[in-house]
Amino acid sequence: MNSLLENVSHRSRDISPFLVMDVLEKALEMSKAGSDVIHLEVGEPDFDTPANVVEAGIRALRQGKTHYTASIGIPELRCAISDYHKVMYNVEVNPANVIITSGSSPAIFLALASILNPGDEVILSDPHYACYPNFVNFLGAVPVFVPVYPEDKFELDPNSVKRSITNRTKAIMINSPSNPTGTILEPETMKELAGMGLPIISDEIYHGLVYEGKEHCILEFTDDAFVLNGFSKLFAMTGWRLGYVISRPQFVRPIQKMSQNFFISAADFIQYAGVEALRNSSDQTNQMKQLFNERRLEMLRRLREMGFEITHDPVGAFYILCDARKFCSNSYDFAFEILREARVGVAPGIDFGKNCEGFIRFSYTNSMKNISEALDRLESFLTKRRET
């Protein structure tokens, strides 16, 4: 057995698991065995893709849009993304600097791969999206973590970032609104980060899902940036796998070559659905956003009543990150205990960084009925747990 394991590459053997998927896969196993599990662990909208977007995809299929496209995407979608950024943020984006990808995960990989050499460093917040460090490590680079704290709304402190910069630092990576915290970076913070003389890699996948305040695109503050985004969250298109990178001009050709070799191109007909999503789906997305907000407020109220600590309300994305240290010291074990005993899937905080141990992330991407039932189960579980 040991000799067989020696044949597995170091980078595939050593990559950390995505722990929320461990929870999900166990939950699915329980469901298959007949258990009624309610999912609050995964960040996938429970809404159907808007009907007009589906029809656009079907129409493109019927028109024969089933072939390879240019590796950087169809001109129509790249122009639609440019127009969208002008309307939403009043920033000029040259369509030539837009590269279409098969989801935002390839966008993250391509942007990082275009600037990192082995030993280079990327500054990340802690907590952070679980997969960021794995991308960096996989490329032979080094993630450098800057702790953020609930009393500061989990917002990056520019002074702490400055102290973390070395001669090997190649980029600062931000995510606003954030997974797992729901935090939005203040424009003053973004401006300070943008003024540090390093490229900013800005994951903007949760833009549009903001309930208080306003999100800002990094391009409002600097051109020395990569914008990562996609259609999964705002447009409920997770299964369509469509995303993009907005790059500096000198990185377009390197990213294009990697896309040619590793991904060929995003699906032809899906890109046409993306055009429709950007241009004609605001009514549907506003309705989804209103429902998400109703769930957010109800979940915040119930979780606080149960004793979970939430210092500041999350105002974006669709997550609530709770301090559960009065209940546990090991968030992974606690998440599986909740799953086993309450039949509710939640995400362990340790998935999102060492500074997030003892926290639990709840996703409100489920119906209000299911959320209410899940929280009733959780409350009953906690009550029984205190009594034993």
CA 62 distance to own-chain centroid:
32
* Residue 259, both tokens: 């896309």
pLDDT by residue (tens digit) across 317-368?
999 999 999 999 999 999 999 999 999 999 999 999 999 999 999 999 999 9
301 and 271, same domain (yes or no): no
Spatial distance between the Cα atoms of 181 and 150, rounded to a whole number of angstroms: 9
Instruction: Among 239, 254, 281, give the residue marking a domain's end.
Output: 281
61 and 172, same domain (yes or no): yes
Give the Cβ contact number of residue 70 at 10 Å: 14
Between the alpha carbon of residue 328 and those of residues 62, 139, 331, 337, 357, the distances in Å are 54, 34, 7, 10, 9
pLDDT at 1: 47
- The residues pairing with 229 across neighbouring beta strands, listed in sequence order, are 244
Q: Helix 268-280 vs helix 51-62: angle between axes, to the nearest 10 degrees?
A: 140
83 and 29, same domain (yes or no): no
Spatial distance between the Cα atoms of 55 and 291, rounded to a whole number of angstroms: 24
pLDDT at 13: 86
Q: Which of 127, 189, 203 is nearest to 158 (CA)?
A: 189
Spatial distance between the Cα atoms of 178 and 185, rounded to a whole number of angstroms: 9
* Residue 262, both tokens: 């590793």
94 and 170, same domain (yes or no): yes
Whether 196 contacts 165, CB under 8 Å:
yes
Q: What's the CATH code of the domain at 233? A: 3.40.640.10
Instruction: Among 281, 309, 327, give the residue marking a domain's end.
Output: 281
Q: Which of 164, 131, 169, 170 is nearest to 148 (CA)?
A: 164
Whether 335 contacts 292, CB under 8 Å:
no
pLDDT at 195: 97
Spatial distance between the Cα atoms of 67 and 85, rounded to a whole number of angstroms: 28
Which H helix or E strand runs over 98? strand 98-101
Q: What's the CATH code of the domain at 351? A: 3.90.1150.10
In sequence order, which ranges of 238-365 are alpha helices (DSSP H)? 249-262, 268-280, 282-306, 331-342
Spatial distance between the Cα atoms of 175 and 183, rounded to a whole number of angstroms: 9
What is the extent of the structural domain holding 357? Answer: 2-48+283-387
222 and 314, same domain (yes or no): no
89 and 231, same domain (yes or no): yes
Instruction: Among 231, 263, 281, give the residue marking a domain's end.
Output: 281
264 and 346, same domain (yes or no): no
201 and 72, same domain (yes or no): yes
- For the entire predicted model, the pTM comes to 0.94
pLDDT at 264: 96
Whether 326 contacts 378, CB under 8 Å:
no
100 and 154, same domain (yes or no): yes
208 and 222, same domain (yes or no): yes
In sequence order, which ranges of 90-186 are alpha helices (DSSP H)? 104-115, 132-138, 158-164
Q: Which of 344, 331, 351, 338 is nearest to 370 (CA)?
A: 344
68 and 204, same domain (yes or no): yes
pLDDT by residue (tens digit) across 172-196?
999 999 999 999 999 999 999 999 9
162 and 242, same domain (yes or no): yes
Based on the structure, what is the number of domains in the chain? 2
pLDDT, tens digit only, all 388 positions of the chain: 455 567 888 888 888 888 899 999 999 999 999 999 999 999 899 999 999 999 999 999 999 999 999 999 999 999 999 999 999 999 999 999 999 999 999 999 999 999 999 999 999 999 999 999 999 999 999 999 999 999 999 999 999 999 999 999 999 999 999 999 999 999 999 999 999 999 999 999 999 999 999 999 999 999 999 999 999 999 999 999 999 999 999 999 999 999 999 999 999 999 999 999 999 998 999 999 999 999 999 999 999 999 999 999 999 999 999 999 999 999 999 999 999 999 999 999 999 999 999 999 999 999 999 999 999 999 999 999 988 7
